[in-house]
Amino acid sequence: MGNAAGTLGVVINEASATAGGVLSGVVYVMVNSAINAEYLMVTVDGEEYALVAWKHTTGTGDNRKTVTKRRRYRRSLLRMDAGLADFSATGGKLAPGRYEFPFTLRLPGGLPSSMSSHGPHGSKCRITYSISARLGRPGSFTSDFRTARQVIVSSAPLPPLPTPVFVEPDTQQVNFCCCFNRGSMTLGATLDDTAVGRGGTVGVGLACKNDSTSEILGMHIVVTEHVRWGPVNGGGRHNHRSRVLAQIS
């Protein structure tokens, strides 16, 4: 952010950070003319946000009216403050020039990944992180210098050892014209791992037993993401969105 007396900026070294990992960068201060200053601080914030929307209808006949109702929910996930400089040693003054203040912060290990999703009627949810810098300046009529930028955070790496799962076989009757039974088919499946990270792969095994007189034309495997958001306590209205992440026939 620019200012007549100076400019403040923050640069991070990594395109994204990992929960439990290090977030590092540099805060730049460009002073155009001598200013009073007390301190320089960086802050990392994380927040959950949900906007729940639904259609609400009242009245009947000519008095029938439908409106969109909305509820917003916020919850703080993270707040980290780190002091970078105390200017009292220099008499609370910053001379004209360019200053650089490197920082290194270790994020908590249990943070969820950055994400966002949109649903019906304008509903949406997101998990966001940001880093901000603040140059504190004394005086009731003096504004602090501030700047902020978004940080992409990924959750901690998944366990190195996979946890396979065996899906219970399911048997379905095969009917013709809803009434004439042609026997049954049984389908079972296995997964290499129950947890898959972004950009990862998962192996799926299928087994089918055809005890019917019908021919199997093909098989289709779909991986679907389900996102549901609403009040933290689970009560009240929620919104939901699903999307296909991967599929194969």
How many CB atoms neighbour CB 112 within 10 A? 15
Q: What is the pTM of this model?
A: 0.81
Burial (CB < 10 A; 0-12, 13-18, 19+), residue 119, is buried
pLDDT of residue 15: 83
**Residue 68 in contact with residue 53, Cβ under 8 Å?**
yes
Q: Which pair of structure tokens corresponds to residue 9?
A: 């900026």
pLDDT of residue 198: 77
Report the chain (249 residues): mean pLDDT per 10 consecutive residues.
74 92 95 90 96 92 91 94 88 90 95 94 96 88 87 88 91 84 93 85 91 91 92 83 92
Burial (CB < 10 A; 0-12, 13-18, 19+), residue 20, is middle
